[in-house]
Amino acid sequence: MANLKVTLIRGFAGKTEAQKETAKSLGLRKIGQSVIREDNPVYRGMIAKINHMVTVEEAD
């Protein structure tokens, strides 16, 4: 199955509590931090909620 590399590019200041919790549940804590996650509907939905805070690339 394909993987996604998700990188946090914006901080949590001024964001709603739900957006902060979504980023933290993805494993993102600091600006510039990247995590590898499976490409499935669960993670796609989480990424869609905070798409203005992250960049997404396909990972090998």
Q: What is the mean pLDDT of residues 28-51?
A: 96
Q: Output the domain CATH number for residue 9.
A: 3.30.1390.20
Range of the domain at 37: 3-59
Average confidence (pLDDT) over 4-33: 97
Residue 1 confidence (pLDDT) above 90: no
Other Cβ atoms less than 10 A from the Cβ of 4: the count is 19
Residues in contact with 55: Cβ distance below 8 Å, sequence separation at least 6, in sequence order:
6, 7, 9
Q: How many domains does the chain have?
A: 1
First-last CA distance in the chain: 10
Closest CA to 50 of 28, 35, 4: 28
Name the residue among 45, 44, 50, 55 with its Cα closest to residue 16. Answer: 50
Prediction pTM value: 0.91
